[in-house]
Amino acid sequence: MDTPPTGAVDSVLVADKYGKSRVRLMKLVRRADRHNLKEITLEILFQGDFASCYEAGDNSKILPTDTIKNTVYVLARKHEIVAIEEFAQCLIEHFLNNNPQVSEVRVEMTEHLWSRINSTAFTRASGKRTAVVTGTRDGMTIDAGIGDLLILRSAGSGFEGYIKDQYTTLPETSDRIFQTALLATWRYKSRSLNFNGHWERIRETILDTFATHPSRSVQHTLHAIGKQVLASFPEVVEIQLTMPNKHALLVDLSPFGLDNPNEIFLPTDEPSGYIEAKLVRR
């Protein structure tokens, strides 16, 4: 069979995006009484009128991705970074105002959290703060979140009454270790909020609900967390939660003549249960 000549296939470009990923930024603000530290990883993606670059090799509408990276550092120097959601909006406004060929900018940020030891010393904190802000000339959507939040409870969690078929070996339990690496993403209905305050209080709500909810399954507690966040924060219109079940397996000590009253476990995260759900405000 003859190979068709290059370009002979009838095709159309239906979607495209480009940008810069894994942009690393650390900003240190040196105040007289203390230093403030922010560490952020960014991805910035453009959508717009770029077909001529793909189809004809015409780069006249392409802002180099190296320029995108440099813009992050310049704007970080010019602007105070109080909340990552606000800095994302600043970047989006700059790119849209200066690039008419760009119709949409998506900025994804992960803030690597540092806790203060004293005025000029820090230690890496648990979990990550996230934000995904998407902007066009008609408006913006702002999603905030938490990632890699390792949490565990040692009481008040069970798993009973599930389907048992010929391959089921898992015993029922009313008292188990419940451990997960929680990922939460929620959407705000406004672009002008105290983002830092909201993030802190939503995190506290997630932790309090996880710690106190009488859990009959991971799904049960995930749903309770989502409901509580929506009930407590009218500015949040939806929330998505992922809670992989990091198992702690009871070790059989009977070969050694010992009992095991739920004290000795083998922690394992592979394989793990995967539980995810999204709740929206009615």
Write the pLDDT tens digit of every residue in 220-239.
999 999 999 999 999 999 99
Contact 69, 183 (CB under 8 A): no
Asked about 65 being catalytic, the answer comes back as yes
Residue among 69, 198, 213, 247 flagged as catalytic: 247
pLDDT tens, residue order, the chain (282 aa): 566 566 568 899 999 999 999 999 999 999 999 999 999 999 999 999 999 999 999 999 999 999 999 999 999 999 999 999 999 999 999 999 999 999 999 999 999 999 999 999 999 998 999 999 999 999 999 999 999 999 999 999 999 999 999 999 999 999 999 999 999 999 999 999 999 999 999 999 999 999 999 999 999 999 999 999 999 999 999 999 999 999 999 999 999 999 999 999 999 989 999 999 999 998
Q: What is the largest CA-CA distance in the chain?
A: 77
Residue among 65, 141, 205, 242 flagged as catalytic: 65
Q: Does this model's pTM top 0.75?
A: yes
Residue (of 159, 155, 279, 281) closest to 225 by Cα position: 279
Residue among 20, 38, 69, 198 flagged as catalytic: 20
Asked about 223 being catalytic, the answer comes back as no
Q: b/e string for 220-239 if b means 16 or more Cβ within 10 A?
A: ebbbbbbebbbeebeebebb
